[in-house]
Structure 1
Amino acid sequence: MKIYFPQWQGSGTGKNIEDGARTILEYLNDSEFIKVPLSDIPAGQYGEKKYNIHNYDAITEQLSRLKKTIETSQPDTIQTIGGDCGLEIVPVSYLNQKYPNLGVIWFDAHADINKPCDSPSCNFHGMPLRTLLGEGSVHMTPLLFSTIQPSQIHYVGVRDIDAVELARIEKDTIYAPGETNIEAMITTLQSKDITHLYLHFDFDCLEPKDYDKTYYQVKDGVTIKQAKECIELLQQNFTVVGSSVLESVTTKVSELKPIEGIINALISNQNADK
């Protein structure tokens, strides 16, 4: 199943996130993508904060729509063009229910593992992993198909971590190496008997000198070459059942040229359900 869901409300103001998702959709030019509508509830500058989450009403309304779409289709695989990282709670929790002990590979500069009460920004795109662990806001729980375990999370490129997030990572020794070592990660995944993977890809995991058309730019990231090699090796060693491309903000297809290989590896090369 291929989904176009350009949620931006989880990032707060979401400047160019929806436009960036639309640019990737235009680049792929794939009629198989199902477009899940976003909420009309005021958000961003005019949004309200509830339960320490900005734009709570808009987010929960549209994520409920996304959940229903997936629940009705019952796909074996999911590929998503987004959008902010908060949308991941639905596809990841669905695939985790379908494939127990799913390995979640989180290509991201940020840990995205805050509780709402601890989040400096109160933006939901910094909370999806904590929500998926079943430790986020109880008001978001109905959006989940299942919860994951800390051992299922594996970071790539993470380097901008809040103190509370670091404490949570250290509590259960969540896989978050300082440097990318794909061979070591493969060995770790195999030691846990993980056979199926979800590849979350926020483009801010990349080194800004390689690609800077992202919602955030954080120095000392993964190179485009490293990221592509990592994705390809994971695909060779495991069954990838879900993937996403998120938080690119360019509005020009021509500016996607540096990351075409990553987009094609994550979206075009899987055998997705129609």
Structure 2
Amino acid sequence: MKVFFPQWQGSGTGKSIADGAKTIFDYIKGDVISIPLSKLPLTLEQNINGHSALLEQLSDFKTLLIDKNPKTLHTIGGDCGLEIIPVSYLASKQSNLGVIWFDAHADINIPKESQSHNFHGMPLRTLLGEGNQKLKDLLFTEIKPSQIHYIGLRSIDTAEQKRIAKDHIYAPLTIDINHLVKTLKDKKITHLYIHFDVDCLDPDSYKNAYFNVNNGITVIEAEDYIKTLKANFDICGTSILESVAMTEDELEPIKNIINLLFND
């Protein structure tokens, strides 16, 4: 099942994320289910910007999955905060789901540690069962630190680094894809969820990320990593998030990545 969910409230004021998601939606076409966004104002509650709006629309996403019960799930977003729903859903279906987090940022803060108070920096911590209770209550199930594997990570808050170190979460400075494959297989992981925030890419490869961060992976490297993962594991879910390309021409550098993520 393919879902269009242009959530932007998790990024604070990043409405360009919704427009960027629409550009990808228009490129993919086909049978895609859309989730409407809340009209509640963007206010700071419980140390999270847009807390009430996020609860409302993420609840709608959860209800959709309960109703449709898909075997696979591919999400066009939107900010990274939306991931608590598809990741927890698929983790409830696959007991040892591997989560591949292509991202420049760790996304593993809790509200009281976050300087921005934006929920797109908190989804993994929420998935681990920590942080805001109302958002945790939306989870289908929690995940374990051993299920998380970062690619492209390079912008990490001090509190996030401590959390990663605490449970030895897989977060190498550079990626050896063969080592990652071996690590996953040693953990008896057979199914993967691939989260793809386009800011994992170096701006020289793709400049239309909501947050550009230097020294990322190249488009060619990302394609190779995804192909290798698809060749070795069952991919039951994917996402592409936080692109702000406004036209299909601006999307051109990552079209192969989108096709790899959204075509079985």
State the TM-score bracket (shorter-chain normalisation).
over 0.9
Matched, 1:124 2:123: no
RMSD value over aligned CA atoms? 0.6
**Greater mean deviation of Cα atoms: 161-170 or 247-256:** 247-256
1:136 to 131, 137, 141: 131
1:230 to 206, 221, 225: 225
What is aligned with 1:23? 23
What is aligned with 1:61? 56
Matched, 1:169 2:168: no
Do 2:127 and 2:142's aligned partners in 1 also have CA atoms closer than 8 Å?
yes
Code of the aligned partner of 1:239: D
Identity %: 55
Distance 1:141 1:260 in 2: 34
- Residues 30-55 of structure 1 show CA distances to partners (whole Å, capped at 9, x for unaligned) of 2x10001010111xxxx211111000
- 1:200 counterpart SS class: strand
Distance 2:137 2:55 in 1: 9
How many pairs does the alignment contain? 264
Code of the aligned partner of 2:78: G
What is aligned with 1:35? 34
What is aligned with 1:182? 177
What is aligned with 1:12? 12
Code of the aligned partner of 1:121: S
- 2:62 counterpart SS class: helix
- 1:92 counterpart SS class: helix
Code of the aligned partner of 1:39: S
1:49 to 44, 49, 63: 44
Matched, 1:218 2:213: yes
What is aligned with 2:104? 109
- 1:117 counterpart SS class: helix
Distance 2:211 2:69 in 1: 34
Code of the aligned partner of 2:17: I
1:201 to 193, 196, 199: 196
Distance 1:74 1:136 in 2: 27
1:191 to 168, 186, 192: 186
Code of the aligned partner of 2:192: L
- Residues 154-210 of structure 1 show CA distances to partners (whole Å, capped at 9, x for unaligned) of 000000000000000000000000001111100100000000000000000000001
- 1:17 counterpart SS class: helix
Do 2:99 and 2:195's aligned partners in 1 also have CA atoms closer than 8 Å?
yes
Code of the aligned partner of 1:21: A
Code of the aligned partner of 2:132: S
Distance 2:69 2:178 in 1: 33
- Residues 70-114 of structure 1 show CA distances to partners (whole Å, capped at 9, x for unaligned) of 111010000000000000000000000000110000000000000
- 2:249 counterpart SS class: helix
1:71-110 equivalence runs, <5 A: 71-110=66-105
Distance 1:55 1:17 in 2: 15
Instruction: Give me the TM-score of the superposition, normalised by structure 1.
Output: 0.96
Do 2:195 and 2:240's aligned partners in 1 also have CA atoms closer than 8 Å?
yes
Distance 1:261 1:173 in 2: 32
* CA shift for structure 1 position 15: 3.5
Distance 1:212 1:181 in 2: 24
Do 1:23 and 1:250's aligned partners in 2 also have CA atoms closer than 8 Å?
yes
- 1:146 counterpart SS class: coil
Distance 1:151 1:64 in 2: 27
Structure 1: which 4+ aligned runs deviate by more than 4 Å?
A: none
In the alignment, structure 2 segments of 5+ residues that lack a partner are none
Code of the aligned partner of 1:2: K
* CA shift for structure 1 position 138: 1.1
Code of the aligned partner of 2:103: D
- 1:136 counterpart SS class: coil
Do 2:103 and 2:198's aligned partners in 1 also have CA atoms closer than 8 Å?
yes
Instruction: Give me the TM-score of the superposition, normalised by structure 2.
Output: 0.99
